[in-house]
């Protein structure tokens, strides 16, 4: 139903564009109002009245159909049922800045942490020890 009404809406829109383009503008028109009989429907005034009425009714149909399509779209897309097909469980993520400790013999130091003073250099009383001369 929605697709059918969408096609009808497109046809009405194309007809509306065509009718508007055929109407007389301020500086002339697209061939409307040239020669012809002075009386009847297809003289300049009769054609203008016909095109004006047609434009009005196509515009009314276009707006009404747009409202109907909007109502159908809202009716078909509202989530009335709860969707439980997705797994929304979240596993907690470990803090990336927290130090990681490894267990085992001699491996109880934090990985990537600061080294202890015993690991940096042997203790020395000479303040210039370890400097290059």
- Number of Cβ within 10 Å of residue 19's Cβ equals 19
Give pLDDT tens digits for 101-131.
666 665 555 555 555 555 555 555 666 655 6
Point out which residues pair with 110 in neighbouring strands: 101
Give the per-residue pLDDT at 95.
Answer: 76
| Distance (Å) of CA 50 to CA 13, 41, 131 | 18, 8, 103
Taking a C-beta distance cutoff of 8 angstroms, is the pair 101, 110 a contact?
yes
pTM over 0.75: no
Give pLDDT tens digits for 20-49.
998 877 555 455 555 444 444 556 667 778
How many Cα atoms within 13 Å fall on the side-chain side of residue 13?
9
Give the per-residue pLDDT at 91.
Answer: 74
Give pLDDT tens digits for 55-100.
999 999 999 999 999 998 887 766 666 666 776 777 777 777 777 6
Strands 100-101 and 110-111 come out as antiparallel
């Amino acid at each position: 139903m929605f697709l059918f009404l969408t096609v009808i809406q497109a046809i009405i829109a194309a007809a509306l564009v065509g009718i508007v383009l055929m109407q007389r503008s301020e500086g002339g028109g697209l061939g409307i109002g040239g020669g012809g009989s002075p009386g009847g429907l297809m003289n300049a005034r009769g054609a203008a009245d016909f095109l004006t009425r047609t434009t009005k009714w196509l515009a009314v149909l276009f707006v009404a159909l747009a409202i109907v399509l909007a109502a159908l779209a809202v009716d078909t897309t509202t989530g009335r049922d709860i969707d439980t097909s997705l797994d929304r469980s979240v596993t907690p993520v470990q803090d990336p800045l927290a130090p990681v400790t490894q267990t085992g013999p001699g491996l109880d130091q934090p990985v990537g942490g600061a080294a202890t003073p015993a690991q940096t250099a042997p203790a020395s009383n000479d303040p210039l020890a370890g400097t290059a001369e």
